[in-house]
């Protein structure tokens, strides 16, 4: 089998990509190619956004065919953070594994250096938390279930070009800060963290405090991670949408967040921004895309980072230099209670009432790239540590009061038979990268 290890020294930098458009139509290889080329050509970014995070390895509308984003990545030389959907039960996860095996069989010889890692699940622990369950009846996955899935993925890639791919999990920072989830931290090679200060609506969450909230979220995650690399798998600020306490959506605010939080991380921390385009053909509310409903290399705000230093990243990033798919040091746990406010909930109907689509609940893998030399984010840089918890995708932490939660949506099919409900919140899990659900659900949150 071809080696899938990359010698890249720079961190991965890219966006999140869903498997369908907001109208439920599946993305084809040419659609993904167009999106990947647009991201790489964005004005002001110097061609740096050449990585894609996926939520599923299954092509929408099929039981377990590898997602067409994989051959699109091969043709455009786009690196991939592969994802396997893990909140729909073992039968659906079997389809993810089948798509992963199909990826190895069909593409291993072409994926050299194009896989950043494999994420098993996305915000599954959030969805079994009290807030997650109140926001939506859709299932998540328990720590023991995720640990089992992670082992199944390791067994699947053993002896293949993906054997050395770092395997991790993506969730809100509060999920990692919860001691009952420690088994997941112990089982992974990297920690994928989602954080959205915009949704921290029980705090002073205006753009002037966004950096400190983000840093606080990273620090909490770092405290629980016990030295394992932290990858920023979702963060961003909406260009339009409702006000969340002090947080105002707008292009000016989104640009400030990009410059203060994003720019210092780009190049030294693995980052998949939310997002390139979260609404096509419809625009959701709130909308996080750096471009609108039409593919264009002209962003809606300035994406240049010249002279933007300090802030979210620090010299501690070198901590992840040698991390690969082998087990990392056991993580220490934190005793804080799990809670979160919702990050953008994916919606397949363009931002109106939550919609569902029939989609296969599996996603594929690809060639492997070990984490680059600087993939761990630290909060020691200027800008303040902030108090409390920084935002986390789908569920920013709170210290009492209410939080706005966007319920996950999207349905998937399992093994080509009866549909299996597959919740997809924040950033178009299985469905179109339709964007964020229009209205949130106000719920009471327990104090940290």
Question: Residues 225-257: pLDDT tens digits?
Answer: 989 999 999 999 999 999 999 999 999 999 999
Token pair of 386, please?
């902030």
In the block, residue with structure tokens 């984003």: 69
Q: How far is CA 238 from CA 196, 253, 255, 435, in A?
A: 10, 8, 10, 10
Q: Are 432 and 276 in contact (CB under 8 A)?
A: no
* pLDDT above 70 for 186: yes
- Predicted confidence at residue 3, as pLDDT, reads 54
Q: Are 19 and 431 in contact (CB under 8 A)?
A: yes
Token pair of 418, please?
């009866």
Domains, the chain, with CATH or none: 13-273 (3.20.20.80)
Respond yes or no: is residue 234 known to be catalytic.
Answer: yes
The two beta strands, 358-360 and 419-424, are unpaired
> What is the CB neighbour count within 10 angstroms for residue 8?
15
Mean pLDDT to the nearest integer, 292-314: 82
Please tell me which residue in 33, 35, 96, 123 is annotated as part of the active site. Answer: 123
**Counting beta carbons within 10 angstroms of the beta carbon of residue 206, is it exposed (0 to 12), middle (13 to 18) or buried (19 or more)?**
middle
Query: What's CA 197's distance to the chain center, in Å?
Result: 15
Count of residues making up the chain: 448
**Nearest CA to 404 among 378, 373, 438?**
438
Respond yes or no: is residue 123 known to be catalytic.
Answer: yes
Q: Are 167 and 189 in contact (CB under 8 A)?
A: yes
The rounded percent of the chain whose pLDDT value lies above 90 is 62
Handedness of CA 361, 432, 350, 51 (dihedral sign): positive
CA dist., res. 150 & res. 145, Å (int)? 9
371 secondary structure, DSSP code: -
DSSP track, 243-279: -BTTB--SHHHHHHHIIIIIHHHTTTS-EEES-S-S-
To the nearest whole number, what is the mean pLDDT of the chain? 75
- Predicted confidence at residue 137, as pLDDT, reads 72
Please tell me which residue in 35, 200, 234, 244 is annotated as part of the active site. Answer: 234
Predicted model pTM: 0.76
> What is the CB neighbour count within 10 angstroms for residue 312?
25
Query: What's CA 165's distance to the chain center, in Å?
Result: 17
Name the 3-class secondary structure at 58. strand
pLDDT tens, position by position, 37-63: 999 999 999 999 999 999 999 999 999
- Predicted confidence at residue 380, as pLDDT, reads 31
Torsion angles phi and psi, residue 94, rounded to 5: -60, -35
- Predicted confidence at residue 130, as pLDDT, reads 87
């Amino acid at each position: 089998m071809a080696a899938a290890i990359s010698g890249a020294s720079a961190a991965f930098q890219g966006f999140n990509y869903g498997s369908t458009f907001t109208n439920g139509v599946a993305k084809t290889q040419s659609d993904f190619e167009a999106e990947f080329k647009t991201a790489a050509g964005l004005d002001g970014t110097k061609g740096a956004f050449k990585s894609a995070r996926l939520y599923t390895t299954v092509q929408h509308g099929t039981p377990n065919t590898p997602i067409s984003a994989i051959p699109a990545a091969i043709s455009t030389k786009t690196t991939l953070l592969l994802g396997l959907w893990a909140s729909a039960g073992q039968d659906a996860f079997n389809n993810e594994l089948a798509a992963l095996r199909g990826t190895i069989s069909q593409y291993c010889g072409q994926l050299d250096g194009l896989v950043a890692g494999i994420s098993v699940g996305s915000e599954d622990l959030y969805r079994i938390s009290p807030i997650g369950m109140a926001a939506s009846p859709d299932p998540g996955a328990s720590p023991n279930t995720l640990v089992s899935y992670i082992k199944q993925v390791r067994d699947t890639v053993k002896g293949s070009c993906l054997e050395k791919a770092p395997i991790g999990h993506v969730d809100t920072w509060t999920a990692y800060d919860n001691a009952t989830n420690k088994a997941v931290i112990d089982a992974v090679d990297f920690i994928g963290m989602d954080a959205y200060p915009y949704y921290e609506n029980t705090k002073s969450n205006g753009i002037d405090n966004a950096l400190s909230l983000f840093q606080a979220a990273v620090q909490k995650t770092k405290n629980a991670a016990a030295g394992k690399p932290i990858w920023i798998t979702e963060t961003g600020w909406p260009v339009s949408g409702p006000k969340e306490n002090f947080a105002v959506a707008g292009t000016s605010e989104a640009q400030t967040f990009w410059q203060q939080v994003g720019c210092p991380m780009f190049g030294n921390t693995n980052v998949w921004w939310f997002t390139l385009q979260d609404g096509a053909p419809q625009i959701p509310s709130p909308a996080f895309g750096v471009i609108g409903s039409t593919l264009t290399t002209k962003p809606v705000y300035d994406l240049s980072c010249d002279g933007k230093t300090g802030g979210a990243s620090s010299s501690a990033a070198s901590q992840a230099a040698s991390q690969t798919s082998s087990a990392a040091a056991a993580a220490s746990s934190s005793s804080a209670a799990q809670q979160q406010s919702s990050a953008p909930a994916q919606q397949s109907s363009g931002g109106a009432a939550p919609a569902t689509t029939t989609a296969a609940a599996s996603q594929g893998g690809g060639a492997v790239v070990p984490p680059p030399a600087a993939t761990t984010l630290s909060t020691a840089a200027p800008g303040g540590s902030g108090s409390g918890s920084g935002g986390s995708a789908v569920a920013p932490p709170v210290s009492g009061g209410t939080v706005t939660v966007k319920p996950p949506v999207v349905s998937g099919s399992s093994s080509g038979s009866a549909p299996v409900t597959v919740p997809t919140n924040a950033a178009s899990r299985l469905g179109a990268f339709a964007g964020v659900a229009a209205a949130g659900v106000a719920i009471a949150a327990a104090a940290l």
